[in-house]
Amino acid sequence: MSGPDVTGRPDDVGPPQQRATPPLDGIVVADFSRVLAGPLATMILADLGADVIKVERPGVGDDTRSWGPPWRGDDSTYSLAMNRNKRSVTLDLSDPDDLVLARRLAERADVLVENFRPGNAARFGLDHDSLSARNPGLISASVSGFGTGEDAAALGGYDFLIQAVSGLMSITGDADGEPTKVGVALVDVVCGLYTAIGIQGALAERARSGQGQQVHVSLMGASLASLVNQASAFLGAGVVPGRMGNRHPSIAPYETFQAADRPFAIAVGSDRLFALLAGELGLSELADDPRFATNADRVANRDGLVTAMAPVLATQPAGHWVERLRARGVPAGLVNTVAEAFDEAAALGLDPIVEAPRRDGGSVPTVRSPIDLSRTPTVVDRAPPDLGEHDDEVRGWLEEPHR
């Protein structure tokens, strides 16, 4: 399907850019989601070339527009994080005329993404069953907190809550401290990633069958899946994992150490790497010590291993050890601040920041997509939109007869 003609995009000014057609070019996404998981999923699709039309409440918009500080001018930096490459149209779903336009958008879209409260999609006529009769190729993606079961539907799905009830908090934090959340809304992020993957799988299947389908991802399910080896320890061996601070339940040494000036991380995942580490620390005898000869031995005798290593590591600055260990191929790195992390990524050639252009000639700095496609790279055509920035063009398209 094709969306409305785009006017005022930065790449429409002057000679057309010479670039490959992005992989999802021509795919129209009706984005009725808000906050993080759904908007992140649709931003991923937008980075891959989809035309994402973000539907927002008039005068209010996505909840995150008011989530500050911090602010960049009048914009919440939270909202800026997951809304680039989209267009914003304001539609009041309680207004009959606007609801007609919302349904038209859904009927003309390839993908619809929503995280309405249970029952609201059907109440608005925006549920998959209602829409697929008129748009059989539609892929409807729903994000929920705890699933679609009768008891689950009434529960509020917030990232912090899911981190608690899914077990993620129980394995995060110091061993003798209280359960701790991850420093970002990780469950929302993982759920958004799974949602984007599910949508692309459904698009690939539609290319064969011509039929759409419904995609559903819950925050609870995404969080359980994110437990990976910890979940497998429980399912496969009956082990209920607990908090270990920065230590790993199955690998050693794989944790942070205190250098003379600051902490840094060492991640040794093989006996060969351990021998290199021990040699660089002047502790070659540790590699032959039966307490530490194999990874299983080192895990069993972790405290003794740390006792042997820590005094040596405390004699020099962290940067000294990171440089020496990396030179020998031993994985090591500083515990960076966010600012230092961007600096290191830039120094390594990742070019982690991309400027998203605004209509007024300015730009908004955003994190570059980590998806690197060799022939059809991701695109950043526009900054996160102002509320209702594209009302005229999108409403005009929806009011035209459908071709």
Same domain, 55 and 101: yes
**pLDDT of 6 above 70:** no
pLDDT band, residue 403 (cuts 50/70/90) = low
Q: Last residue of a domain, which of 285, 301, 334? A: 334
**pLDDT of 182 above 70:** yes
Q: Quote the number of domains for the chain.
A: 2
pLDDT tens, 63-74? 999 999 999 999
Please tell me what DSSP assigns to residue 249.
S
Average pLDDT over residues 74-89: 97
Average pLDDT over residues 357-362: 94
Q: Last residue of a domain, which of 277, 307, 334? A: 334
pLDDT attached to residue 5: 60
CA–CA separation, 1 and 392 (whole Å): 20
**pLDDT of 219 above 70:** yes
Determine, yes or no, domain membership for 247. Answer: no
Kind of pairing between the strands at 353-357 and 332-334: unpaired
Q: Last residue of a domain, which of 306, 334, 362? A: 334
308 pairs with which residues across the strands? none
Same domain, 378 and 318: no
Q: What is the CATH number of the domain that holds 309?
A: 3.30.1540.10
Q: What is the DSSP string of 16-54?
A: PP--PPPTTTT-EEEE---SSHHHHHHHHHHHTT-EEEE
| Contact criterion met (CB below 8 Å) for 139 and 109 | no
**pLDDT of 322 above 50:** yes
pLDDT band, residue 298 (cuts 50/70/90) = very high
**pLDDT of 7 above 50:** no
Q: Where are the beta strands (DSSP E) in 32-116?
A: 51-56, 71-72, 75-76, 86-90, 111-114
The residues that are catalytic are 188
Kind of pairing between the strands at 75-76 and 111-114: unpaired
| Contact criterion met (CB below 8 Å) for 112 and 52 | no
Same domain, 278 and 305: yes
Same domain, 128 and 274: no
| Contact criterion met (CB below 8 Å) for 159 and 187 | yes
Same domain, 210 and 287: no
Same domain, 126 and 15: yes
Domain with 281, as residue range(s), is 263-334
* Percent of the chain whose pLDDT exceeds 90: 91
How far CA 265 is from CA of 254, 325, 355, in Å, comes to: 8, 11, 31
Q: What is the pTM of this model?
A: 0.93
pLDDT band, residue 119 (cuts 50/70/90) = confident
Q: Within 10 A of 372 (CB to CB), how many other CB atoms are there?
A: 9
Mean model confidence pLDDT for the chain: 94
pLDDT attached to residue 2: 65
Same domain, 274 and 197: no
Q: Hey, is 326 helix, strand or coil? A: helix
Determine, yes or no, domain membership for 183. Answer: yes
Total count of residues recorded for the chain: 403
Q: What is the CATH number of the domain that holds 18?
A: 3.40.50.10540
